[in-house]
Structure 1
Amino acid sequence: MGATAPILSKDIIRPIAERSDFWGAWLTFHVWAVSFGAGALFVLFPNPLTFILAFLLIGSRQHGMAILMHDAAHGVLFKSKALNEFVGTWFLAAPYGGNMQAYRHYHLKHHKHTQTELDPDLPLSAKFPTSKASLKRKLIRDLTGQTFWRLRLASFKGVELEGSDAFAKSSRIPILVTNIILFAGLAALGVWWAYFALWLFPLMTWFMAVLRIRNIAEHAMTATDGNPFRYARTTKASLLARIFLAPYWVNYHLEHHAYMYVPCYRLPMLHNAMQEAGYLSKMEYETSYTNVLKLASTG
């Protein structure tokens, strides 16, 4: 790494980078518990407010599954490779329609070529800043399901589109199996309709909007000169943002790029270590997701 790169001593990094089967199991349980708990809230107390809450929470947890799958793809959610592969494939990626192996191939290119012409994620960030009207149109397409169907169609045809890593062309077996089990389980409980109203509907809409906002926050309007402090962004996340937009410490994105072998559950510790080492003032850092969206929409 260059002289300007974030460098922490091995004695500092070693405990921060330690993987934990307990944490991996707990977060996998948590993402599913919140999803089922939110759905149960609406089923037991059906009204518009509980539906909106369930819709937002489930969509954010589907995003959370993608975040935890990302860690499994890096091999850091659990200690063992077998657990990372099994849980990442079947419990995290497949339920929302993703494939971890295809994602890993795509994502490692992003790490190797961040914010360069070879970065497969560059089209996601290069279009910003844009106009307020353009950003509004993009979010409307997300929230009305248009983006979802566009990406799904592209994945079936094998066409690479911006954002298509969320639904990479791959084996459909884990996706079909997990979703059939999910539907069958809900049907056995007498709430078959919940699969469509409380799983597919958030996945097709809120999940896509959250994914776009996350992508904007991570790399839009960041450096393209290879500066490791400026080619990714860390965004401070409020409690509401952590619940509905950026769960599981995904907001610490610069730290992840600096040390991609650090599990998500230790990124706050890594952030503090980098701050204590005097790097915070050099980092691409924003104080809220609202501020990022303001920067991304110029007029």
Structure 2
Amino acid sequence: MSTPIKMKPLELFTQDEWTRLCKRSDLLGLGTIVHAWAIIIAAMAMFAVWPNPVTFVLAVMLIGARQLGLAILMHEAAHGGLATNHKLNDWVGQWLCAAPVGAHLRNYRDYHISHHKYAQSEKDPDLILSAPFPITRKSLLRKIVRDMTGQTFYKQRSNQFMNAMGIGIKKQKGRENRAQSAREAVIPFLISNALIAIVMTLAIGWWAYPVLWLLPLATWNQLVTRLRNIAEHACLDGSNHPMRVARTTRTNFLERLFIAPYWVAYHCEHHMFMHIPCYRLAEAHRILTEKGTAEDMEVKEGYWQVLTIASSKPAATAF
């Protein structure tokens, strides 16, 4: 497959529209980080003040979704969209977004640029996330169960920690680089989570960190991260056109609250024009829809429709 062609923005937007869409804002960029942590803190406080099964489930879902939100904002930082000052952008992207959820901004940026350059081609480093689809409903259900029971989290995190210690990495070219990359993610994760644990213990109690941070990270966060990956690139037509290598999913309020925060669902627009900051993607989608361009894009209505497509492979028939 050839490298995806590049879109020319002024073929779809006026100069004024394009200038407005590309404008970076420290207030909006840094404000999203404040918003994410504010919801996390509010959800924790809700359960701490009114502990019951309903507030517990709501807290886990809200916190898990905002942990995904932190990963999304790390992605925005990888594109330089959180702050106009590059050093500030990278600092907040690393320590307030990436490190708490076990990621590393610089390492992520390096391979993510390749993802944009080679999206849905054999050279795409993220192709492994979308290539298996469609799958059967039973297979999707098994994945959901693994996510919600912490199995996915345990496998990913244990592999990351073992790689950081050089355990289980085959003696081959790039072995040390792989171990170093893992260490660069693990050490900030441990530092940031130690600070989170101390603050939560002092503010709420000894149980708060494992119940209100690790549990959402190991369960709901894993599920919504999978849903995000499926929605963005699974079951596309294989075209190398930017309008067809990624999918936009139109979402309602509850989906944005519990599954897809911070405009992450506008992924087709992001691949078409990756320099538009995330807080302007909704406006870009509105303009493209009004001009009829969205009819040529990969757009679906809600995550249920996407999951229906992604799990449409017929089950094997026994004879």
TM-score between both structures, scaled by the size of structure 1:
0.93
Paired residues for 1:57-68 under 5 Å: 57-68=62-73
The match for 1:296 is: 310
The match for 2:176 is: none
Q: CA RMSD in A?
A: 1.8
Q: Quick check: 73-82 or 184-193, which moved more?
A: 184-193
Aligned length: 292
Deviations 1:126-153 (A, max 9, x none): 1111100000001111111111111112
CA distance in 1, matches of 2:15, 2:110: 28
**What 5-or-longer segments of structure 1 have no aligned partner?**
161-167
The match for 2:216 is: 202
CA distance in 2, matches of 1:36, 1:3: 41
CA distance in 2, matches of 1:92, 1:32: 10
Deviations 1:257-290 (A, max 9, x none): 0111111110011112222333111000101100
CA distance in 2, matches of 1:91, 1:186: 16
The match for 1:164 is: none
Could you say what secondary structure the match of 1:232 adopts?
A: coil
Shift of the alpha carbon at 1:2?
5.0
Identity score, percent: 46
CA distance in 1, matches of 2:253, 2:132: 29
The match for 1:126 is: 131
Paired residues for 1:267-278 under 5 Å: 267-278=281-292
CA distance in 2, matches of 1:154, 1:189: 32
Match for 1:279 among 279, 293, 299? 293
1:5–1:133: structure 2 CA closer, same or farther, 3 Å change rule? farther
CA distance in 2, matches of 1:170, 1:276: 47
TM-score between both structures, scaled by the size of structure 2:
0.87
**What 5-or-longer segments of structure 2 have no aligned partner?**
164-168, 171-180, 315-319
Q: Verify the 8 A CA contact 1:69 1:92 in the aligned structure 2.
A: yes
In the alignment, does 2:21 pair up with 1:20? no
Match for 1:250 among 249, 258, 264? 264
CA distance in 1, matches of 2:15, 2:88: 26
Could you say what secondary structure the match of 2:113 adopts?
A: helix
Shift of the alpha carbon at 1:109?
1.1
CA distance in 2, matches of 1:223, 1:40: 45
Q: Verify the 8 A CA contact 1:115 1:223 in the aligned structure 2.
A: no
The match for 1:223 is: 237
The match for 1:106 is: 111
Structure of greater Rg? 2
1:21–1:80: structure 2 CA closer, same or farther, 3 Å change rule? same
